[in-house]
Structure 1
């Protein structure tokens, strides 16, 4: 009854608001805002009517809708990096108004940090959300000179990494598999190239990237910790153009242009490493090859003012070949088809069809002992998102998503008839994932704005398949099957359903400062089967099932936001608390590789994370950049692990400090510096030995009982852009710098071995152990040539 009363109250509120707006004739102004030079729609551009302070912001497709009383108005269209545009209109009927904004080089030199409106960080209701401007990312020092969205994310407050050489990131105490990563709305399951040295995102094709650490809208679900939403460019609809770059380890190129001018366009971008060329010419590494490549493609077609179609695809693969005898490879493939339709000036629809495939393989090429092991995780999805602009104060968003999932844990195929292996296939698993959501953006008054909604999710673990009953499912190593049940195609094995409420509020103290509050519940129905923070791909996914409950998380965050000196500086302080239940971990020495009874290795418990995040960003002037600091704690409590005692999460790092700065010396030279400091991550180490049946085994400390030494590193960069020739479209830029400038040997991991001298000879009777540290990178200079035309 309480739920019905709440729903009835909300409905009455909407009716009252709508009724008040009908006291005088009102009409809707709507359209798209574009870049005049390329035809690209501008995301989050602003429309303002100054006399009434009414305004609107474009969505992810550049569409806006603003309802006003009949009358004459002067509307201002703004987007940072572009010249403002003012249009006088007489609104006497519903009107479509598409505008094109002209890029302003003067503005670009002044402000390059964000594409959102001035003071937007204070005025927007959303908190725990950070935009990642691509132009800034390209100017930051980077490993091997390759701009990287993921590496930038790892410097933000509330985000930690496992160390160097990894694209894994951990948000507010959550694990890496608890991040939902979307590329043009399609999920990407592994974001790393070259074991994490690069990510799968080619910066040259990205239009927009945003990270949500909390306050996640009801439109999104399926992960506990964060959402990273990456949108690619549509392609130049005005003229043909291209760009590219050549660095130390990889080369890339992009070409784009109109198919039909101002109606349809395309963009194609490719990237490939050539580290294999170095290894092939090395006597020590002969037969070893490390390769990655990726390809992005996108076409769009404006069929009419009411219908637009987008088709985008991504394919990427990594291959590691060792001594012509062993190979492993992995990769992502995604495709998304989107149809934007305007049912009316107020009702915007986006229908999306999505396909995603993540596969990985091992191959031993020996004729007798050789085999090939392949596995994958696939999904196909239908998503319908609707936006209804009820009035200037209320925007409603609602929709549905359905996903069909197939999990293939692995198939072994022998190399030949003489192989010692037999063809073996682990049991596939299947699932249906449904979600309905509804939410509202509500401006209650000039000072108070709200975002609220709910997501209802239904997850069904389905057949075909066989489910085993174990005598003691939690007793790994002693598997006793007492019964089994066989399910046919699409038979429901186990169902789970959860309401996921979301709420956010913003109170303006004055025009320059605000207080914000957010709460969200997230539920995750798919689980990463891995016990390592190292980004190797041999970590399969498993659905929630009779032996694996869905993970749940409740997060509460509060924040203070302030802009200083005419929006030159942005400051924010956020505190959060997150409680998660049924989080998944595994017993010590778990057998995760090709285990048909993997459910006996699962352990589920609770986690608790809380912290304070400080962020200061300078937006204007020759010197720009940010300073971020995070104090945080993440702790796990999983029955059956660590003698039933709580222990630090693998990614628990108490202090994280990042400083990133760019300085424009003049119109041709820009220099940058990044400094990173973090306390060492937890690690489990042997603390003694014991003998068992004549075998000398290690005795380990409590789980994550030790910490690696603190991590710190300084990166330096410089970018030079030669003088442009008038009338020529060809432009060059040269980037060079040093990664890890003072040659810090940051620990990647620590292992123990029998004590040896410098020549590798065992010291003593071979029972004495010593610890050895592994680090990845010393000081590494880089150089990259970039061009565009």
Structure 2
């Protein structure tokens, strides 16, 4: 109430100060960040020919933070002096007298004249500096229960507005809250609400703003969290904001899977997440074997995460949705920037064209093979270790050369947007990200002689080819049209391609005593996934309390996977094609300003099985009062494309995508059940959600050598099998978030359990690989003058694993023997608990009119040895266990610069 009265007090200040025609002729544009008032006045005297009168003691220690464009002089002064304890009077056009508010003589002001009642408004919410539209921003009519949110293009509409002089409150994660007053002479169907990241960016009739700037908003819905890419720089990283690594710090998402940027959401696996970027699906989210995510935060405007119970608009996945909106580009002026860390460098450029109707953004990033990069690579591949091989024909050991692999990753984003009118937007988005690894090596005669001495009787040559590359292409063309205040449509056609190739071969030629020994062995894998989609999404507001969303989606998948051995033995050769046609309907209804329901239905026809799949969805929210919210959700979900994980962890990216055929590979499905409550006040949010997921049609893949036949016909063959099972996930998420102030952050705790039942793999249900019973996360950021300090701490109980309990020897046909392990119960053991502490410090400064920051990030500060996996060898009749650890203490420096 105090803040509300203050806002109205400011309104009275500038309305009663005599906003005459002469005064409004003076338009002020300014931007100040923690600048002393005497310097502000000097700037205004020089740039706007103002004259100030004041007592030195009255302005001492007054600091100004504000930003606005072309504001009338009284409004500009009201904004500048808000909270300073100073008042003002204007004489003539340019003379201003400042004095303490306590000395101000009370003035009576005429109330604003109301011309309209019970009407509708619509408009767009933007970043006041760049002109970027802001999706999913919340709009509230102060003093009422009338509220809504902007859509993916930043448009909003509200109905039943009580008068044309009410105050609107706008909030958006990572930005300051905005208070906007309607005025009788406004065009109520073309409002523009400009928000600010750093200061108080005020539009024509905006009165004030309060500081928010939190990194996430976890109170937007059931299992839904909004993330601010702008604010992610405060979280410790490797010199760059990393969206997916930041998502892993949220409750319900595993933060201990350090070797993957993929998200394990509430017991699900990464392939069970629908990842969208500007409407196209991204099937692989990793760089550098999962250490780094595949998205450049400089190209991302908004991130919406749905941890479960997501509405009928989304389909094709059974766990969660990550919906990312790319930046359109600056519509106000040219901007550019770059950054460099010990891992990579990045840059972007954005610019308006055609008088601001169009905008373009290009952003790119590439790693370079620094010592820091190589240390990370070595930790994940152990590529530089010298190894030995036994050659039976030679009867001796020979050593391979040490080799430095050539490896790098890159990604590129581009987007062009054009506004034909206030109602029509066309945008084209493109993305490409790729990793390349060349781990090839040669051992020739000279190399052999260096290891074993000159041997003229023997000629030796070995060529090892080891080439790997994987990545994504994606593009979308979107056309948006606002039919009227009630109807809005988006049409999106997109293309996505995930590819993963590995060519690994060894060719050995040995000549001794005129005898030639030649050996050619290796494997080749190629997984190529193509996705062509069309989506038509519609929003229709029946009334302020009732909105209908409906649409049509078509997805065509063509997935090829081939795995061959020694050029002749084809292990897997699949080509899957399928079309999924879906219709969805979702109705949002508000009853008595207290009870909110979202009832939806999705129907999908899958061509491979030629069946129709019906997916009902239901969300319910009840507002006990302004602070307490009760919520629940349920729904059914189907998944038709699956990523299969192979067993060999030491072979790099060994996963592949296939389409379910409802025979060998079943169609996965899940029922979600969620119940929770939240308590939210100005500075704090307390949230709890319990969840259960009933899974069916799960697939696991196994490939191994096995004997077939008997006697002399007994041979060692390569077998591959798909196993089918069910699963049950249950858990509870707790979140305590401090949203405002210099110290912000959150504390989260998840208690969960993931159990699978695969009768052919285990006689009893077993804990899934991603099962983590307890996970605690603490995330904090603190601002002190020009410094930003960040801290994250993660504790997670150990993941389950299987291990050898013994071994046995089998004599092969050539007389040699081979060792085979006897394995424990499926995932019957647990690794030690995982925990680590990360810290960062960033110094923000200006280079002329441009912005820059430099900082240090420390990963795993106390050098915890967290186990990634165990290796097992048989040495002299004993099983030797070797723990392979994840990264230890890893510092990184970074520098970033932007023109604006």
**1:675 maps to which of 786, 789, 793:** 793
Find the residue that maps to 2:624 and give its secondary structure: strand
Give the Cα–Cα distance (whole angstroms) in 1 for the partners of residues 852 and 187 of structure 2: 49
Structure 2: segments with no counterpart, 5+ residues? 1-115, 202-208, 379-383, 386-401, 442-464, 508-519, 707-716, 812-816
Give the Cα–Cα distance (whole angstroms) in 2 for the partners of residues 207 and 258 of structure 1: 17
What are the equivalent positions in structure 2 for 1:650-669 lying under 5 Å apart?
650-666=769-785, 668-669=786-787
> Would you say 1:601 and 2:741 are equivalent positions?
no
Give the Cα–Cα distance (whole angstroms) in 2 for the partners of residues 353 and 545 of structure 1: 26
**2:338 maps to which of 244, 248, 251:** 244
Find the residue that maps to 1:303 and give its secondary structure: strand
Change (3 A) 1:514 1:322: same
Equivalent residues of 1:28, 1:346 under 8 A apart: no
Give the Cα–Cα distance (whole angstroms) in 2 for the partners of residues 639 and 343 of structure 1: 55
TM-score normalised according to structure 1 size: 0.83
Residue of structure 2 equivalent to 1:486: none
What are the equivalent positions in structure 2 for 1:693-772 lying under 5 Å apart?
693=811, 695-722=818-845, 724=846, 728-755=848-875, 766-772=876-882
Equivalent residues of 1:162, 1:533 under 8 A apart: no
> Would you say 1:315 and 2:455 are equivalent positions?
no
Q: Which deviates the most, 266-275 or 423-432?
A: 423-432
Give the Cα–Cα distance (whole angstroms) in 1 for the partners of residues 154 and 260 of structure 2: 34
**1:445 maps to which of 592, 598, 605:** 592
Q: Which deviates the most, 67-76 or 495-504?
A: 67-76
Residue of structure 1 equivalent to 2:653: 537
Residue of structure 1 equivalent to 2:268: 174
Change (3 A) 1:162 1:187: farther
What are the equivalent positions in structure 2 for 1:248-263 lying under 5 Å apart?
248-263=342-357
Change (3 A) 1:677 1:422: closer
Give the Cα–Cα distance (whole angstroms) in 2 for the partners of residues 512 and 340 of structure 1: 36
> Would you say 1:138 and 2:253 are equivalent positions?
no
Equivalent residues of 1:185, 1:354 under 8 A apart: yes
Aligned residues: 700
What are the equivalent positions in structure 2 for 1:486-565 lying under 5 Å apart?
494-532=609-647, 536-547=652-663, 548-564=665-681
Deviation at 1:163, TM superposition (A): 2.8
Residue of structure 2 equivalent to 1:457: 604
Q: Which deviates the most, 689-698 or 552-561?
A: 689-698
Give the Cα–Cα distance (whole angstroms) in 2 for the partners of residues 515 and 698 of structure 1: 52
**1:197 maps to which of 291, 296, 311:** 291
1:24-79 C-alpha deviation (Å, 9 max, x unpaired)? 99754222122221111122233333455323211111011222279644242523
Deviation at 1:738, TM superposition (A): 1.3
1:704-739 C-alpha deviation (Å, 9 max, x unpaired)? 0111111010111100113x36xx432210110211
Residue of structure 2 equivalent to 1:763: none
Deviation at 1:146, TM superposition (A): 2.7
**1:375 maps to which of 502, 517, 527:** 527
Residue of structure 1 equivalent to 2:158: 66
Give the Cα–Cα distance (whole angstroms) in 2 for the partners of residues 191 and 554 of structure 1: 26
What are the equivalent positions in structure 2 for 1:158-237 lying under 5 Å apart?
158-161=252-255, 163-237=257-331
> Would you say 1:782 and 2:889 are equivalent positions?
no
Deviation at 1:510, TM superposition (A): 1.3
Change (3 A) 1:652 1:733: same
Q: Which deviates the most, 185-194 or 92-101?
A: 92-101
Q: Which deviates the most, 353-362 or 89-98?
A: 89-98
Give the Cα–Cα distance (whole angstroms) in 2 for the partners of residues 599 and 769 of structure 1: 26
Residue of structure 2 equivalent to 1:55: 147
> Would you say 1:616 and 2:736 are equivalent positions?
yes
CA-based RMSD: 2.9
Deviation at 1:278, TM superposition (A): 7.7
Residue of structure 2 equivalent to 1:19: none
What are the equivalent positions in structure 2 for 1:49-448 lying under 5 Å apart?
49-50=141-142, 52-68=144-160, 72-80=164-172, 81-82=175-176, 84-89=178-183, 95-105=189-199, 110-114=211-215, 124=220, 126-142=221-237, 144-161=238-255, 163-275=257-369, 286-324=403-441, 325-364=465-504, 373-410=525-562, 421=568, 426-448=573-595
Equivalent residues of 1:210, 1:230 under 8 A apart: yes
Deviation at 1:168, TM superposition (A): 2.4
Q: Which deviates the most, 360-369 or 376-385?
A: 360-369
1:626-647 C-alpha deviation (Å, 9 max, x unpaired)? 111001000000121113x100
TM-score normalised according to structure 2 size: 0.73
Structure 1: segments with no counterpart, 5+ residues? 1-23, 462-493, 592-596, 756-765
Q: Which has the larger radius of gyration?
A: 2
Deviation at 1:422, TM superposition (A): 9.0
Residue of structure 1 equivalent to 2:381: none
